[in-house]
Amino acid sequence: MSEKQFAGVNVTVDDEGFMIDYTQWNEDIARGLAKEIGIEELNDKHFMVLNFMRKEFKEKGTGPSLRKLKNESGVNTKELYGLFPKGPAKKAALIAGITKPVGCI
Amino acid sequence: MKKLVILGAGTAGTMMVNKMNAVLNRDEWQITIVDQDPTHYYQPGFLFIPFGIYNRNDVLKPKKDFLPANVETVFSKIEMIEPDNNRVHIEGKRILDYDFLIIATGTRIHPEETEGLVGDEWHQSIFDFYTVEGAYNLSRKLKNWEGGRMVLNIAEMPIKCPVAPLEFVFLADWWFTEQGIRDKVEIEYVTPLPGAFTKPRASRLLGDFLTKKNIKLIPEFDIGNVDSEKKIISDYEGREIDYDLLVTIPTNMGDEIIGKSGMGNEFNYVPTDPQTLRSKDFENIFVLGDATDLPSSKAGSVAHFQSDILFENLLDAIDEQPLRAKFDGHANCYIESGFGKGILIDFNYDTEPLPGKFPLPGVGPFSLLEETKMNHYGKMMFRWMYWNLLLRGAELPIGSEMLMAGKRM
């Protein structure tokens, strides 16, 4: 675990960079988190996905799978990869300030 | 009369009906089990069919042989569950009412979920081995195959038995060596996961095995499309991998009736309490085995450990008591590694596979997270245990709760 500062706020993240407390999140923190993993700009589509992630997390306690994202976020798989290259479910979870999605075992 | 209905007579449903039948008072309870297929499949055996180690007869038996005679067995298609009205519609306009329902409808492959996977080349140059037909057709292909690039691809997680694809490439390495054509075959292992397996420590060990056996690991590949004419698979970011022979683990999904009945998640798995195994939405419905949405492996060993927990909790529920037994996510997998050897892993929700001895701490005879001949014998012996003990609900010498004794941190 470590402390990081985004937009003037101290945020605690785990070893892989996922926020510990999702209630600390705001859009500026999201931009900071995105930069950390090489995504320079966040547009409306990004935020549409991020807000869906956060809503799911609030209701279910875990981030959605890629299939659920594709089915319900309003953004198709190809676009999801464009927005969050190399693993949209995981990358979007990180930027959305929620914990790493429960891995498949 | 009170009614217990069990949907699905596979590994999970069969174990459960035998357990419940042994204790429920027959003057009070009527038990019904429904399944559309009268054949029981020994699914762990499918892996061995492509390499001629087992044939079809080794993995098929009539379900009737394993179901108690005094239980009503219905071989019909399930049409719909109405959980709010406590009833199930089955083929022929029949309705089954229940006091308690156990859903054990399993998971199946859905190759049509991947664009281009099913077509003229299905079971010609593209094969699955999660069905008897797929495994058998692949055995015929391999018999005359002269070599080339064999690509194993996992389409999407979660899948049934996440170690089976690894076992497949390990056995393929052995088999091509036996055939004297290993130098003419390239084997690639293409997975959406970041490594060889889901759990970090086992993933490293199994990744080393891939390297040792000259099998190339390509991680983080989410397949988007198959061009079966050009023999190329590509992912959503445009990465392409060409193949001569594609062995696919297609998307796995729960039964369609789960979705149709509005009871499933995006994969048609039933939201289930990870500890009590009760449906999250319905008090009188329990879920067992591959049909659950739990973050535990979809495997027979898991269904077996769950069945002990579900048995106790169902009896508590019948007595209107709080549910006391808790499932810990225990899984136990023999991994065939080729050349007559195997690796054994034992883990649960919280503890990843660790080295040690199993099942007797310090004694064995099996070794955890190590490759031994004894582990391979364990796997081969298991088929007898499965048909003769496990399905009949008999006690096995492995507890449902994972033990730390005998494990090294």
> Contact, B352 vs B201, CB < 8 A?
yes
> Quick check: B222 and A66 CB within 8 A?
yes
Indicate the residue of B198, B266, B331 with minimum beta-carbon distance to A103: B198
Residue A38 touches partner B, C-beta closer than 8 Å: no
Residue A100 touches partner B, C-beta closer than 8 Å: no
Residue A1 touches partner B, C-beta closer than 8 Å: no
> Quick check: B224 and A77 CB within 8 A?
yes
| pLDDT tens readout for residues B316-348 | 999 999 999 999 999 999 999 999 999 999 999
Q: What is the secondary structure of B194-216 as a DSSP string?
A: SSSSSSHHHHHHHHHHHHHTTEE
Residue A65 touches partner B, C-beta closer than 8 Å: yes
Shortest CA gap A8–chain B (Å)? 33
> Quick check: A65 and B266 CB within 8 A?
yes
CA-based torsion, A31, A34, A39, A44: positive or negative? negative
Topology of domain B2-106+255-318, per CATH?
A: FAD/NAD(P)-binding domain (3.50.50)
B350 CB neighbours in chain A (<8 A) are none
> Contact, B51 vs B175, CB < 8 A?
yes
> Contact, B165 vs B190, CB < 8 A?
no
Indicate the residue of B220, B265, B295 with minimum beta-carbon distance to A105: B295
B237 CB neighbours in chain A (<8 A) are 81, 85-86
Is the bond leading into B62 cis (omega within 30 degrees of zero)?
no
> Quick check: A104 and B162 CB within 8 A?
yes
Tell me how far apart the alpha carbons of residues B87 and B97 are, in angstroms, rounded to a whole number.
Answer: 4
Tell me how far apart the alpha carbons of residues B196 and B165 are, in angstroms, rounded to a whole number.
Answer: 10
B297 CB neighbours in chain A (<8 A) are 105
Smallest Cα–Cα separation from A29: which of A6, A53, A4? A6
B272 CB neighbours in chain A (<8 A) are none
Boundaries of every domain in chain A: 2-95
pLDDT in tens, chain B (409 residues): 999 999 999 999 999 999 999 999 999 999 999 999 999 999 999 999 999 999 999 999 999 999 999 999 999 999 999 999 999 999 999 999 999 999 999 999 999 999 999 999 999 999 999 999 999 999 999 999 999 999 999 999 999 999 999 999 999 999 999 999 999 999 999 999 989 987 888 899 999 999 999 999 999 899 999 999 999 999 998 999 999 999 999 999 999 999 999 999 999 999 999 999 999 999 999 999 999 999 899 999 999 999 999 999 999 999 999 999 999 999 999 999 999 999 999 999 989 999 999 999 989 899 999 999 999 999 999 999 999 999 998 888 788 899 998 888 7
> Quick check: A78 and B224 CB within 8 A?
yes
> Quick check: B222 and A87 CB within 8 A?
yes
> Quick check: B158 and A104 CB within 8 A?
yes
Residues 6+ apart with CB under 8 A from B188: B149, B150, B151, B152, B215, B216, B217, B218, B241, B243
B157 CB neighbours in chain A (<8 A) are 104
Catalytic site positions of A: 104
Q: Predicted confidence band at A103 (pLDDT cuts at 50, 70, 90)?
A: low
Boundaries of every domain in chain B: 2-106+255-318, 110-252, 331-390
A-B C-beta contacts closer than 8 Å: 45
Give the pLDDT confidence score for residue B200 in this predicted structure. 82
Give the pLDDT confidence score for residue A87 in this predicted structure. 84
Tell me how far apart the alpha carbons of residues A97 and A29 are, in angstroms, rounded to a whole number.
Answer: 8
> Quick check: B331 and A102 CB within 8 A?
no
Residue A71 touches partner B, C-beta closer than 8 Å: yes
B159 CB neighbours in chain A (<8 A) are 104
CATH (residue range A2-95):
1.10.10.370
Tell me how far apart the alpha carbons of residues B270 and A99 are, in angstroms, rounded to a whole number.
Answer: 23
Residue A83 touches partner B, C-beta closer than 8 Å: no
Smallest Cα–Cα separation from B56: which of B64, B71, B66, B45? B45
The two tokens of residue A45 are 């589509």
Shortest CA gap B265–chain A (Å)? 9
Residue B265 touches partner A, C-beta closer than 8 Å: yes
Topology of domain B110-252, per CATH?
A: FAD/NAD(P)-binding domain (3.50.50)
Name which residue leads in pLDDT, A87 or B163: B163
